[in-house]
Structures are given as C-alpha cells and as structure tokens.
Structure 1
C-alpha cells in the first residue's frame, strides 16, 4: 500500500508539472501579437479596396504661367520707352537676373477716326471724272490713290463720329452715295516683353525700385499671341 500511495503522489506531481509547462508556453505564444499591434494590423486597407469617398484629395500643383479666361498665355509688358537706350539698359538688368527680356516695337492702338468716302469706281479715269463733277458742285473731295479704297473718292477723315455721320447724311441728301467707316489708328511703341512665368520670378523690391527710378513706366499683361514678333 505504501508503494501504491507513493506511485500516485509521483503521478500527480508529474501531471501538475506538465500542466504548468503547457500553460506557460501557450501564454508566451499568445503575447506574440499585442492588442495594439493587432489593432494596427486591422487598420491596413489596400487602396484598390477603398471607395472614391475614402481616398484623400489630390493636391493641385500651382502653375506660374498665367493664362486668361480663354486659355491663352499672358506675357508681361514693361514700357513704353521713348528712347531705345533706356529700354536696352533695363533689358540688360533683367538679363543679369536670369530673366528672359526682349525689347521690341509694338503697334499700339490709338484714337479712332471716321472716314467719309465714295466706294471705289471701275477705273482711275472714271474716278477722276467723278471727282471733277463733285468739285464742280462745290463738294470738297479727292481721289484715293491706294489701299482698299483705291480709286474711290474721299470726303474727309474725322476724329468725331458725329461730324462723319452729319457729312454723310448731307452728301446722301445731295444724291451722292457717300458712306463712312471707322479707321482705327495705331502707332509704334517700344516695350520690354517678358514671356509667361518670368515676371513672377522678380521680387517686389525690383518692381518698387524700377517704379521709383522710372515713374512713367507702365506694367501690363497682354496675350502673347498679340505681341508676338
């Protein structure tokens, strides 16, 4: 009996030791992934699995090239320069700052004029024959020598629209088929042209200093296509 009791005691001790060892190993394995790491793992989602609403917004890269409402690129103009050497000096200063600057003559719009005329006749001879008739009636006129109205009769060019309309009505009342049209006047000016993006590279100090040195200079923007050489 004593041996049987001793055998049972040893058997119980062995079972207890095996149970403790197994529990310890299982507990260690359970700690391999902590709750916080497990939570982080659950947060990983593939972009392909996300809906469009979950995707972050894409930032737009600002552009330094300025365009107008129609999409045309805008150039910056500095001027006008009454003397060419002044424009050349400023263009050289800009070039020293690695700014592409081009001094050129640009045809600028001027005051509108109004031309009263008789449309071109069939030949120069017919034009002069008609001119003599008009002058014999005391109507001041001359033959237009060239241009789109060559061999027509001119009755004058006016800066006021009212005067042109009044003379046209007077001539029509006399049986002369006169007409009038607008004649936009232009003149050449020297301007420095900066291509798109160049003006934005200059700091405010440059523009302030330029304005102080040359207060009469203007800075404006225009479509590059309209100031192209």
Structure 2
C-alpha cells in the first residue's frame, strides 16, 4: 500500500512541474501586434510625421482678371443697348451694359472760384468778404477744391472771365476752371468669347451697321 501512495504523490508532483513550465513559457512569450481583419491603419506620432503634417496648401482660386471679352457698341441710347443685351440673353449668353463717359474737348461750363484756403476759418473770412461786396458765393466742402469758395458756373466764357476780373479787383485771387463736355456711350459686354464666332455676332447685331465688335479686357471677373 505504501508504494501506491508514493506513486500518486510522485505523479502529482510531475503534473505540477509540467503545468508550471507551460505557464512560464506563456509569460515569457513576446507580445505580437494585434491586427484587425480588414483595413489596418497605423497610428503615427507627431514627431514621426514630419512634413506629412504640414498644413495643406490653400486651393488656388481661378482669377479671371485680365480675361478678354467682346463688347458691342457704341450706343448713344441706353434703350438700344438693352435691346442688344436681350438678344444676347436669348442665346443663353451672359452680358452686361458698360457706361463710358468720354470727354469731347469742348468746353461746356466755366467754374469761377477762389482757390482752396489753408483752413476753414480762412475760407469763411474770404466768403464774408465776398458777400460783403455783394458777390454770390459759397464754400466748397468736397473734392480737390475743398476749402475754396465758389462764385458760380457760367456757360458764357465772357461772363466767367468778366467776373474773375471784377473780383480780383477787390484783391481776392480768383481762378476759372473749364469744364469740358462729355459724351456718354453704352457698350454691351459679352463674356463667352469662344462662342461668339462671326455668324453669332451678326445674329446678335441684327443688321445694325452703326455699331462694331471689339475684343477688350473684361470689366469684371467671369
């Protein structure tokens, strides 16, 4: 009976030794990376990223300044320009009316005025002196002639220069500014240059021989 007891004890010790050996192997085994089936993404430290985390370059915006457009004109009447613009729109094109004032070189008015004074107080003193001498006048408050004194606009050249001479006789400096006439023109601008072949331009022009087409820089971005 004693040998059976020792055999059982020895067997238990052997099993305990084998179990302990397996636990040691499991604890000593290196940890392997755990991968999840499917798309695997790797975390990256900021210090490792380097240039990859630089701010993205801003998206370049298309700049249409400097592009060319067709213009049709000139029209002396706004209504005629609107009729052509309506024909442009009927062809699913985009257009607009541009207004251009062109100096004709012909004098239209003569502005008699005292040149700008150094201060408003000085302008007021000049105004009072003129009004005391019965000259109609007022202070100019805006523009290049601000702080000057206006003596009026005249269509007649002789009247303007006659007043200048009269006021200067009182010891007050006076100048005459010649205001030239301007001619207003209306031009229709069309953006889609590539679609405006000669046939299309003739269709839009509708037989109007008084106007022409010109290729110019667009007045606004596309």
Structure richer in helix, relative to its length: 1
